[in-house]
Amino acid sequence: MARMKSPVRVVHYVNQFFGGVGGEDKADVGVSVTPGAVGPGRVLETALGAGARIEATIVCGDNFANDRAEEFARAVATELDRLKPDVVVAGPAFGSGRYGLACAQVCRIAQDRGLAAVTAMHPENPGASAARRGITILPTGTSTTSMPAALAALAPLAQRLGRRETLGPAEVEGYLPQGRRRVYDRGRPGFQRALDMLLDKLHGRPYRSEVPYSAPERVPPAAPIADLTRARIAMVTTGGLVRKGNPDKQVSANAVRYHRHSVAELESLSPKEWEAYHAGYFNHLVNSNPNYILPLSFLRDLERQGAIGAVHEHIYALPGVSTPVAVSAGHGRSIAADLKQGGVDGALLVAT
């Protein structure tokens, strides 16, 4: 005989507006808990059906959740520890940025405590772009007009997550891709899939890209150097500069580390002492004059003329070829920290 499943216990998170506290004027209110379902939670409970029930609703103002993030996190964590739900549902937040960020934060707090969690918002909501990689987010429209569809999609996913089911791929289940790509045999050759997709696209029929668009991270630039004549300038190259003969055994692609060399005693890079080892460009050019990828001789001129304060004693080199972005970012952070510690004001990054 099949064992009766106990209903999935859900905790719902909503902001001050959907929690019935008030509008923008109440956005500063702190975390509170109401037993049972509130506002859209009632519709969600209907959609969940008999297999699940909303135990409690956590409500918080959007300003509070974002401006006092640590206090918010502590309060939510305390409530979740007390309520011990099977799954946390946050939102839907639609296009509302601060609400979206709060929903993503609630999901993260829940997951950190080993709880299942799901939210829903517009794909361009800052909450989605900031957190997509770790949490399950269902896409919605920008406004509450998409509420019924959003709740109808959330309910079955919440049920399954609450029962500790492993979800299928994003493109099948409909949640936003999390950047965790894995090999998948589609059982039909790539050329046929490409021509199927071409025909669908030509005829205006729906098609689904196998590589969904994932916006690259944007890095805000540092403030300009106020006075170059007093600035310490360093040089970093991804041109694969090595000492002649490559005694440090630098690789020519897919760098697992970078190399730091002292140029304190050098006026210029000589082809007798330096060369390139890089799998992505014509190395002979640099082998004839290594200053092409590390312009030490030119910086020394500027140093003598007083145009710059000083040339930093260490240079950093690695081959910028075929290195996974995450590994590159790690090299970058490490080099930047080293430069900062060395009192460097500006760095010349020479690519190829």
What are the tokens at 244? Answer: 């002649």
Which of residues 23, 190, 220, 247 is near another protein by CB under 8 A?
Answer: 190
Beta bridge partners of 9: 53
Does 276 sit near another protein (CB under 8 A)? Answer: yes
For the chain, how many residues are written?
Answer: 352
- Secondary element (H or E) of residue 286: helix 283-288
With CA atoms as reference, report the closest residue to 232 among 349, 343, 350: 343
Does 179 sit near another protein (CB under 8 A)? Answer: yes
What sign has the CA pseudo-torsion 282, 283, 284, 288? Answer: positive
Does 232 sit near another protein (CB under 8 A)? Answer: no
**Per-residue interface string for the shown chain with another protein, residues 54-93, x marking contact by CB under 8 A:** ----------------------------------------
What are the tokens at 88? Answer: 């946390």
Which of residues 215, 223, 226, 264 is near another protein by CB under 8 A?
Answer: 215
Which of residues 222, 285, 307, 349 is near another protein by CB under 8 A?
Answer: 285
Distance of alpha carbon 312 from alpha carbon 317, whole angstroms: 14
Q: Among 36-44, 250-258, 297-305, 341-349, which window interacts with another protein (CB under 8 A)? A: 250-258
As measured in angstroms, the least distance from the Cβ of 290 to another protein is 14
As measured in angstroms, the least distance from the Cβ of 95 to another protein is 18
As measured in angstroms, the least distance from the Cβ of 231 to another protein is 28
Report the Cα–Cα distance between both ends of the chain, in Å, rounded: 69
Does 207 sit near another protein (CB under 8 A)? Answer: yes
Q: Among 72-80, 106-114, 119-127, 204-212, which window interacts with another protein (CB under 8 A)? A: 204-212
Does 219 sit near another protein (CB under 8 A)? Answer: no
Nearer to another protein, 5 or 249 (CB): 249
| Residue 30 CB partners (closer than 8 Å, separation 6+) | 60, 61, 64, 68, 71, 72, 75
Binding to another protein (CB under 8 A): which residues in 305-324? Answer: 321-322, 324
As measured in angstroms, the least distance from the Cβ of 258 to another protein is 15
CA distances from 142 to 31, 95, 103, 170 (A): 25, 4, 15, 20
As measured in angstroms, the least distance from the Cβ of 99 to another protein is 24
> Are 312 and 234 in contact, with CB atoms under 8 Å apart?
yes
> Are 178 and 133 in contact, with CB atoms under 8 Å apart?
yes
Does 288 sit near another protein (CB under 8 A)? Answer: no
Buried b (16+ CB within 10 A) or exposed e, 106-131: bbbbbeeeebbbbbbbbbebbbbbeb
Binding site for another protein (CB under 8 A): 133, 169-172, 177-195, 197-199, 201-203, 207, 209-211, 213-216, 246, 249, 251-254, 276-285, 321-322, 324-327
